[in-house]
Structure 1
């Protein structure tokens, strides 16, 4: 890695605006896997989930779901960009497909606000070591520092995990009482990793837990954690621990993103919390309701939690069904477990565990069915302002 590639630009609605929307019909887009290299290791549980054998940990511990956001750190500018696997479009980047008819694919309202940008990014993260303690800029700081219209607030849905070196999955988040900017800068300058860790609250996590982490809050996903993350669509991360892997050295820009350490420290929120306070601020309660035939929907993240994105989990029971109305916008989804089908415009597609699907705006309802003898467990992700 020779440095960080700047791939941020502000979106701007073309002058012809939504009048350019074609009358092309859009339907189900199945996605190829997009595993992404990061500065930490993991991926064994991802391999198992994706039926990759032998499963092992390595340098690609993240799967980016139906993504049109590029990685900031890879020398290949297409890293992070999902490809379509439908036969008639196999290998085409989702980003390019959207660009051909953005108002038609994403919906007129979304296009009028965000142009070709989906407005969110979803990842599956599987760590075998704790991630670097980090934070991200809010939208104001991201605009000033990177000319980006998006910061990086994020939410985590815990899919599961594993015990590593006797330790259960956990997360670190929020400064404990007593922290100041001056003390934080001093700890980072000395690379006192133990003191930095002890400055944050450590929370053991379990399958089904949900957390919302606002921009500016220091945090780190701990070892053994398998998490579905939905976030604003940037790859801007400020890291405070100097890291390296065998045969791989990272430049200083990996930590401060090229803006320098002073501006990096400006982006931390130095608010302090008791453990009870940080959990009250970040831990999200579910809202569950029965919908469809033999199916249950759980609102994991909704507009009351953040205006930036939303996420639902839908579990379709044995031979059950569930319908998605996408007439006002688009969505994406990933199959957490089980087998089933999706039917749209009189065509049916088979769904299996770890399949990723992009669902364009359409006046025709998308219908999901669970196979006989199998529950179909689906995670749905929605753009800003979208009500699921």
Structure 2
């Protein structure tokens, strides 16, 4: 099939294939279960990327130019969503968005399943990203906990933020000594439960713990500063994967050394859900919105029977967490199942989600940065 002859008109939701990305840590078994794999296993592909136009940054895998890129689900083709959007940004992203961001969606979403604790890390905020990487985007992100599992008898947990009195000098010393327990002791540890949502602003030290299944929505970069040279499972991490080309001394400029008590940290970065629409047939809950960050927005929809969705000239994405349904656009129906993902072009004025099951259909809705 000649991909150049395929024209997507942007008038209906575009189904995407599952894009997995290689990472330094192990996981992914629960993602494979989500997709109905016969023999799900943990491996170095613990993340599924959603409506991604960003390639993963991995040393030794630079030859894989499209790792992490979302592809359109048309059998026999290899069409990247990025190429579709590049051809007509205004049509697919919306006029106002394209005027401000060009052909960039300004957002990246991942499903993450961690079989081990991720290395202690930080991402640059926008100012540091511009200064150090010449990027208009940093990597502020948000985690919404979907579930998880016990690993070695311990329930899912995360590390977030510096404890009071931690200094840059202390943090650098712990890195050069590779005192991992000392690093962990500098941060707050929280056990997490399904429904918890956290905002991780650029510059904030953090680590997703073992056993977490979560959806992460973030700014669209893969700049990750790691201060552990070996993963908990023993994988040796290349120096570049630690400092991202900055060098070990300069990478410490990415950290924000402001610190908070345990309670202050939760008050600042744990986000309470807000029901924004509670109808007879469906309920929509905002998990994180523009009042918390201008960089992205995410809601959870639970559909009992059907729900009509208005596009409002704004692109979005959806990910089916559970159930079976039809998406109907101008009389044309697309069957959707658990684990399916769709990009919704800005030109889609409306569509209807019809639940086929007895239980509520659960759908994550995903939005890019605030325009105004």
Is 1:157 the counterpart of 2:111 in the alignment? no
Partners of 2:118 and 2:207 within 8 A in 1: yes
Q: Which of 89, 100, 110 pairs up with 1:123? A: 110
Matched residue, 1:6 = none
TM value normalised by structure 2: 0.94
Residue 92 of structure 1 aligns with which residue? 79
Query: What corresponds to 1:143 in structure 2?
Result: 130
Aligned to 2:68: 80
Q: Does residue 66 in structure 1 map to residue 51 in structure 2?
A: yes
User: What CA distance in whole angstroms lies between the structure 1 residues aligned with 2:196 and 2:234?
Assistant: 36
State the Cα distance separating 1:50 from its structure 2 match.
1.2
Paired residue for 2:13, among 21, 25, 28? 28
Deviates more, 1:158-167 or 1:340-349: 340-349
Matched, 1:188 2:175: yes
Instruction: Find runs of 4+ consecutive structure 1 residues off by over 4 angstroms.
Output: 22-25, 244-249
For the 8 Å contact 1:136–1:216, the answer to whether it is kept is yes
Determine which of 171, 187, 197 is the counterpart of 2:158. Answer: 171
* 1:255-266 paired onto structure 2 within 5 Å: 255-266=242-253
Contact 2:22/2:44 (8 A) holds in 1: yes
1:294 is aligned to 2:281:
yes
Task: Sort the Cα spacing of 1:27 and 1:191 in 2 relative to 1 into closer, same or farther, 3 A.
Answer: same
CA deviation profile, 1:173-203 (whole Å, cap 9, x unmatched): 1111120000000011100001111110000
Q: Structure 1 residues 378, 361: closer, same or farther in 2, change over 3 A?
A: same
Name the structure 2 match of 1:337.
322
Q: Could you say which residue in structure 1 is the equivalent of 2:337? A: 352
Cα distance in 1, alignment partners of residues 274 and 77 from structure 2:
38
Conservation of the 8 A alpha-carbon contact between 2:315 and 2:344: yes
CA contact (8 A) 1:339 1:375 kept: no
Structure 2: distance between partners of 1:370 and 1:386: 32
d(CA) in 1 for partners of 2:370 and 2:112? 25
Q: Post-superposition shift, 1:116?
A: 0.7
1:211 Cα offset (Å): 0.4
| 8 Å Cα contact 2:50-2:109 kept in structure 1 | yes
Shift of the 137–29 alpha-carbon distance from structure 1 to 2, 3 Å rule, reads same
Q: Aligned partners of 2:233 and 2:206: how far apart in 1?
A: 25
How far apart are the structure 1 equivalents of 2:234 and 2:151?
24
Q: TM-score, normalised by structure 1?
A: 0.90
Distance of 1:272 and 1:173 partners within structure 2: 10
Contact 2:166 2:257 in 1 (8 A): yes
Q: CA deviation at 1:53?
A: 1.9
| Cα displacement (A) at 1:26 | 2.8
1:327 Cα shift? 3.1
Does residue 39 in structure 1 map to residue 29 in structure 2?
Answer: no
Query: In 2, Cα distance between the equivalents of 1:246 and 1:372?
Result: 40
Check conservation: 2:203, 2:256, Cα contact below 8 A.
yes
How far did 1:144 drift? Answer: 1.5
Aligned pairs for 1:358-369 within 5 A: 358-362=343-347, 364-369=349-354
Deviation digits for residues 32-69 of structure 1, max 9, x if unmatched? 11111101001111111111120111110000012111
Residue among 61, 69, 88 paired with 1:101: 88
CA shift digits 1:333-383 (9 cap, x unpaired): 100111111111321111111101010012531111111423210001001
Q: Distance in 2 between matches of 1:245 and 1:26?
A: 46
Q: Structure 2 CA distance, aligned partners of 1:247 and 1:309?
A: 34
> Over the residues paired in the alignment, what is the CA RMSD in angstroms?
1.9
Contact 1:124–1:226 (8 Å) recurs in 2: yes
Distance 1:154 1:247 in 2: 26
Please tell me whether residue 311 in structure 1 is matched to residue 308 in structure 2. Answer: no
Aligned length in residues: 363
